[in-house]
Amino acid sequence: MFARRPDRGVRVVSRVAEALKDSFGYSSFRPHQEEIVSAALAGRDVLALLPTGGGKSLCFQLPAVLGQGLTLVISPLIALMKDQVDGLQANGVEATFLNSSLDSDDARERYRGLWRNQYRLLYVAPERLFQATFMKSLGEWPVERVAIDEAHCISEWGHDFRPEYRRLVELRERFPKIPFMALTATATERVRKDISQQLRLNDPFVSIGSFNRPNLAYRVIPKSKPADQVRRLIAAHRGGAGIVYCASRKAAESVAESLRDANIPARPYHAGLSDHDRSKNQEAFVRDKIQVICATVAFGMGIDKPNVRFVIHHDLPKNVEGYYQETGRAGRDGLASECVLLFSASDVAKQLGFIEEITDETEKRVAKNQLRRMIDYGETTNCRRANLLEYFAERFSEPNCGGCDNCLTPRERFDASIPMQKLLSTVYRVRSASSSMGRAATFGLMHHANILTGKATEQTARWNHEGLSTWGIGHEFSREEWQQIGREAVRRGLLHQMSGDYPTVDLTGAGADFLKTRGTLEMPRPVAPRKAVAAAGEKRGRSTRVNADEAPFDEALFEKLKTVRRTFADERNVPAFVIFGDATLRTMARERPTTAEAFLAVSGVGPAKLTQFGDAFMAVIREHA
């Protein structure tokens, strides 16, 4: 009797599973990856939305390994190309990139390799794509798939629109029968539809992963003396790598200098630096030569560094999509990481000032709505994770996420009627006093906090505000806490805050009515910034859902394995994570594999890496044991 031939579907699945382990070292897929790969192998157009760290790259890299031709990868992030190609080559996958960082000799050699069908993947930026000579060559190479990374850049409704992406439809017209794969980590439903229309995707397989990043903890801290706050937050991470996002080049430079003064290795990264300095600083960060990079939020960094343990926003982002993407750079290896936003009403006012300069009324309205949602995230007393997910139309059903400040330590609510009356009365009396002097003026929340706490300043003396009846009647709260009460008054419409570099406040009609009727109000009890930072540090040490999946490992062995990894990385002139990620090293430090079979069973280890690095790492494990 003849043996039954195995089903073709079974053979394909087996072939995919083998390639997944042999070329990437993984024994299983992350959510949504398998169905995306299957759709790609079936020749379908694909629109994939996966969170940062969700494994988007593997969705086109694995089909490329299994194919016979060339996968063209279009990415706006030149800095990412080398790291991705280095990682593929370390896994034994033939890949290359073409961009402006190459000299003419390197470029010519890669072109020769492309004509010899040497590569499975080619990374290019959109600018090179439409050069006449390149497009002509592309038509003669065996291109069997086009992958468009950061696909939200094609949409004017996206947070990172890039005009050159609009021309990608020309590529679709040139190669109408080649399947396209569009990938992004941040896109609302409106942006997803725009991506599909702009790229003319043909009945695409659409896969939308959860936006939830369970390994990330979210915290918001009232902003006060931010340089000190940033230093204390970084110190709590004991040498872990992190990013501090700043709203301006000046702030990025200033924060980096402040950290260096505190013996924390840090460098700035912004568009004002030369290409050489920017590249040098990013390289130092990616290769663990420095601990912290201080970057402007307006400039895309393109960091492919999986072991970022914290992201701090020194200033308020202008929209939730940008904030989500920036915080998404933390914990891409799946390990517990922290995202902290320093929040202040003055930052809100600055953003409103920028919006007022927009001349197009539709654009201005959209910008205001986006900022309103960002403010709502910063001020909510409910679960921050649920707030973020709601923005992307995803419902978080659990009553407590176990990984945000509001869920870990819900703030006590209290009757704030009397404190609010004190604050509004101070605003009213300050305005009346200045008017009586013939110089009608308004002042910021800090000035009113100084009056309530009896803090004499040059300004309180110059305007004779130390003689007001509300002088020093608010000692029950610190100046920072009074500012939080002031921000609550702004949020509830009792005070109006002007825009500009020095935002001032004034009573609204509702605020005046509150004073006259002695209104009542309940709000979360304010927390002093220093206490908030300390509490954040304490919460990091607690066992929460964010780090519950991280099993114990031998930390001494982990450090020894990192040293070996660093040696290999330096020899090959690649980032350390190209050799092995932190999660893989932790597994080694936990399971202590000392045979080729056991070493190969570790997630992240394939045959190519076993051959290149196995003996050295297993020798360290044996010696340690």
Q: Do residues 413 and 224 lie in contact, with contact meaning Cβ atoms separated by under 8 Å? A: no
Instruction: Indicate the residue among 165, 192, 208 that finishes a domain.
Output: 208
Q: What is the CATH number of the domain that holds 434?
A: 1.10.10.10
Residues 58 and 136 in one domain: yes
Do 62 and 203 fall within a single domain?
Answer: yes
- Specify the pLDDT at position 528: 63
Residues 363 and 464 in one domain: no
Q: Which residue do the tokens 């030149």 mark? A: 78
The verdict on 167 and 224 lying in the same domain is no
Q: What is the pLDDT of residue 350?
A: 87
In a domain, 548, yes or no: no
Domain identity same for 190 and 233: no
Give domain status of residue 531, yes or no.
no
Which domain, by its residues, includes 459? 414-526
Q: Are strands 121-124 and 70-74 parallel, antiparallel or unpaired?
A: parallel
**Domain count of the fold of the chain:** 4
> Which pLDDT value is given to residue 295?
93
Residues 336 and 459 in one domain: no
Q: Provide the pLDDT for residue 616.
A: 96
Do 227 and 275 lie in one domain? The reply is: yes
Amino acid letter for position 557:
L
Residue numbers in the chain where pLDDT is lower than 70: 1-13, 157-160, 298-303, 436-440, 499-502, 528-550
Q: What is the pLDDT of residue 546?
A: 42
Q: Which of 510, 526, 542 is the last residue of a domain?
A: 526
For the chain, the first-to-last Cα distance in angstroms comes to: 54
Report if residue 542 sits inside a domain.
no
> Which pLDDT does position 566 carry in this prediction?
92
Say which DSSP state 331 is in: T
Range 29-35 contact pairs with CB under 8 angstroms and sequence separation of 24 or more: 29/55, 30/54, 30/55, 30/58, 31/209, 31/210, 32/207, 32/209, 33/58, 33/59, 35/205, 35/207
Residue 540 lies in a domain: no
Q: What was the pLDDT predicted at 359?
A: 87
Give the domain-ending residue among 386, 411, 436: 411
What pTM was estimated for this model as a whole?
0.74
pLDDT of residue 598: 95
Query: Do 356 and 318 fall within a single domain?
Result: yes
pLDDT at 294: 95
pLDDT at position 425 is 96
CATH number (domain holding residue 586)? 1.10.150.80
pLDDT attached to residue 254: 95
Residue 535 lies in a domain: no
- Per-residue pLDDT at 300: 55
Alpha helices in 341-472 (DSSP H): 345-356, 361-379, 384-391, 405-408, 417-436, 445-453, 458-462
Which CATH number fits the domain that encloses residue 354?
Answer: 3.40.50.300
Within this chain, do residues 113 and 161 fall inside the same structural domain, yes or no?
yes
Q: Are residues 399 and 423 in the same domain?
A: no
pLDDT at 526: 83
In three-state secondary structure terms, 344 is: coil
Task: For residues 473 and 402, state if they share a domain.
Answer: no
Could you tell me if residue 1 is inside a domain?
A: no
